[in-house]
Amino acid sequence: MAAEAQHFFAGRAWVGGGWADDVLLTAEDGRWTAVQPGCTAAQRQGAGVLAGPVLPGLVNAHSHAFQRAIAGLTERSSGAADDFWSWRDRMYSAANRITPQQLEAVATFLYAELLQAGYTQVCEFHYLHNAADGEPYADPLEMSLALVRAAHAAGIGLTLLPTLYMRAGFGAKGLRDDQRRFASTPDTVLAIAQEVARREGGGLVNAGVALHSLRAVDEAALRETAEAARQLALPVHIHIAEQQQEVDDCIERHGQRPIEWLLGQAAPDARWNLVHATHTYPEELRGVREAGAAIVICPSTEANLGDGVFDLPGWMGQTGNWSIGSDSHVTRSWQEELRLLEYSQRLTLRQRNVAARAAVCESSAAALFEGALAGGSAATGQPLAGLAVGQRADFMVLDPQAPALLGVPDGHALDALVFSAPSAAPLQVFVAARRVDTAQVLAQAAPGYRLALRELWA
C-alpha cells in the first residue's frame, strides 16, 4: 500500500538548473511525483511551507570514513620531503588500528556532519575488510556493516563500495605488511556488495564495487571484477592518475598512461566513476567522455595532499559528467569543495569564472552545482538528480538569515552560498521526503566519536 502523498511549498526552489518561484513539491514513497513552479495559493493549500530557498541534496561521491579520524592530525612537517606517499604512511597508522566499533562511531559522526551540510548520499570507498592482523573476521561483512549501521544512525543514504586491493604496486606479488587489512579478491568484494544489497532491500543503502587503483589490482582481477559488475549493473569506482608517480609507474609497467591503459583494457561505460584523474591529457579525457564514464573530483583532499589540479575547463568543455567527494574529510562542506574547485582553476589559469565560461553559462556557482548534482546518479546508481519527477525526494532548506545570504538579491543566492565564506549550513535537510534532525544526530554521535579518537590517539 503506497504511503500518503506529501506536499511541500517553497517560495523559491532550484528546478531545472535555475531558481523557480512558488514551487509545489509532491512526494510519494520518498520520490518526487510532481514539481510545479508557479503554483497558486489554492493549489498549495495544506502543503508544508518551507522556511527558505530549497536546493536538491547533493551526493558525496568519494569517502574514506575512517580518515575523518586523522583530519587535522597530519599537518606537521618533520623537515623531510612531504607528499602524498608520506601522508599515506601516516594514514595507515589509523587504518591499522581502528576497530569495527571505532569505525562505526567515527562514520556515524562524519555522516551526520555530511548530512548537516546538505549531502544526502555518500559513496563509501571501503577497503578495511580484515582485522588488524590481516586475518579475516568471522563475519566477512564486519567492517562493512559498521558503515551501514552508521548511515542508518545518521539518516543519510549510503552507496557502499567494497574495494578490491591485492598488491602493493605495479608488478608487486602481494601486499605490504601494513596493507594486510585491505586484502581482498574479486569474489570477496562482489560477495559483500551482493549481500549488503540483499539485506538492505532497496532502502537508502545500496552497493557498488570499487577497484582501489591500477597499481593495486592486476589485469586479470580488473577484468573479472569489471565484467561481474557489468552483469550485476553495479556502479564501479576507481582511483586513477592521482599522483605523477602513479602515472610514471604505469608507463614503465604498461607503456601507457593509466587512463589510456584502462580505456583499452576494461571498457569502462556509464557506470564507471574515475576518482581524481588529476594528471590527464585532453585525449584521455576525450576517451573517458566517449565511453560515457564520469569523473569524481575531490578538491579539498587533492589540495591537502598536493595532488595537483584537475582540468575542469577541458572536461566541462566536453560536456563530461562529474561529481564531487570529500575523500579524506579535511572539510565536510560541499560549498568549500566547489569553491576550491573553481579557485584552483583561477590560480592555475589566472582567470576568473572559469566554470561559467567552460559550461557556457552566466553563473560559476550554477555551473558547479549543476555539474556536481548531475554526476550523483552515476556515482550511486540511484535517482538523485534533483527536484524532478522520479528522483528521490532529497533536499535542503537554506537559511535566508545566514550571514552569507543576508540581503543578497534572490537570483544570486547560490552564487553567495558558494563564494561567500564561511559556508552557511542549511536550516533543514530532508532525505526521501523525511526531515532528519541533523543537530540531534550530531549531538548523539559526538560522545562515541570523541571516545573513539581518544582510544586511537591516546
Q: What is the DSSP string of 257-284?
A: -HHHHHHHHH---TTEEEEE--S--HHH
* Residue 81 confidence (pLDDT): 83
Point out which residues pair with 282 in neighbouring strands.
Answer: none
pLDDT in tens, 408-435: 998 999 999 999 988 889 999 999 999 9
Can you point out the beta strands (E) in 241-374? 272-276, 294-297, 322-324
* Residue 80 confidence (pLDDT): 79
Instruction: Give Cβ neighbours of residue 61 (< 8 Å, ≥ 6 apart).
Output: 123, 273, 296, 323, 324, 325, 375, 376, 379, 380
Assess whether pLDDT exceeds 90 at residue 458.
no
Domain assignment present for 453: no
| Residue range(s) defining the domain that contains residue 393 | 6-56+388-443
Shared domain for 237 and 357, answered yes or no, is yes
29 is catalytic: no
Shared domain for 144 and 183, answered yes or no, is yes
Shared domain for 230 and 81, answered yes or no, is yes
Q: What is the mean pLDDT of residues 170-190?
A: 97
pLDDT in tens, 38-76: 999 999 999 999 999 999 999 999 999 999 999 999 999
* Residue 202 confidence (pLDDT): 81
* Residue 18 confidence (pLDDT): 97
- Which DSSP state fits 138? S
Point out which residues pair with 431 in neighbouring strands.
Answer: 434
The identity of residue 221, as a single letter, is A
Annotated active-site residue in 126, 239, 279, 327:
327
Instruction: Give Cβ neighbours of residue 436 (< 8 Å, ≥ 6 apart).
Output: 115, 154, 155, 156, 429, 430
Shared domain for 306 and 209, answered yes or no, is yes
> What is the number of structural domains in the chain?
2
Assess whether pLDDT exceeds 70 at residue 182.
yes
The identity of residue 325, as a single letter, is G
Give the CATH number for residue 423: 2.30.40.10
Assess whether pLDDT exceeds 90 at residue 317.
no
Shared domain for 219 and 163, answered yes or no, is yes
Shared domain for 420 and 376, answered yes or no, is no
Shared domain for 143 and 70, answered yes or no, is yes
pLDDT in tens, 220-239: 999 999 999 999 999 999 99
Domain assignment present for 457: no
Domain assignment present for 107: yes
* Residue 120 confidence (pLDDT): 98
CB 185 within 8 A of CB 221: yes
Assess whether pLDDT exceeds 90 at residue 341.
yes
- 115 confidence band (pLDDT: 50, 70, 90): very high
* Residue 446 confidence (pLDDT): 98
- 2 confidence band (pLDDT: 50, 70, 90): low
* Residue after which a domain boundary falls, among 335, 355, 380: 380
CB 54 within 8 A of CB 32: no
276 is catalytic: yes
Assess whether pLDDT exceeds 80 at residue 200.
yes
Give the distance between the most distant pair of CA atoms in the chain.
70
- 274 confidence band (pLDDT: 50, 70, 90): very high
Domain assignment present for 186: yes
Shared domain for 164 and 275, answered yes or no, is yes
Q: What is the mean pLDDT of residues 255-267?
A: 96
* Residue after which a domain boundary falls, among 336, 363, 380: 380
Domain assignment present for 257: yes
Q: What is the mean pLDDT of the chain?
A: 96
C-alpha cell at 33: 511525483
Shared domain for 360 and 407, answered yes or no, is no
- 78 confidence band (pLDDT: 50, 70, 90): confident
Displacement of CA 1 from its chain's centroid (Å)? 33
Ramachandran bin of 155, using left for φ above 0, alpha for ψ from -120 to 50, beta for the remaining angles: left
Lowest mean pLDDT, pick from 78-87, 247-256, 373-382 = 78-87
Shared domain for 15 and 115, answered yes or no, is no
pLDDT in tens, 375-386: 999 999 999 999
Annotated active-site residue in 276, 307, 311, 394:
276
Domain assignment present for 1: no
Give the CATH number for residue 233: 3.20.20.140
Q: What is the mean pLDDT of residues 393-417?
A: 95
Shared domain for 271 and 393, answered yes or no, is no
C-alpha cell at 305: 595532499
- What is the reported pTM? 0.97
Domain assignment present for 370: yes
State how far the Cα of 73 lies from the Cα of 91, in Å rounded to an integer. 10
State how far the Cα of 157 lies from the Cα of 169, in Å rounded to an integer. 33
Number of CB atoms found within 10 A of residue 216's CB: 25
Shared domain for 424 and 337, answered yes or no, is no
User: Helix or strand or coil: residue 60?
Assistant: strand
More confident residue, 29 or 3: 29
Assess whether pLDDT exceeds 90 at residue 3.
no
Domain assignment present for 42: yes
Assess whether pLDDT exceeds 70 at residue 111.
yes
Assess whether pLDDT exceeds 80 at residue 397.
yes
Assess whether pLDDT exceeds 90 at residue 318.
no
CB 186 within 8 A of CB 228: yes
Assess whether pLDDT exceeds 80 at residue 1.
no
* Residue after which a domain boundary falls, among 328, 356, 380: 380
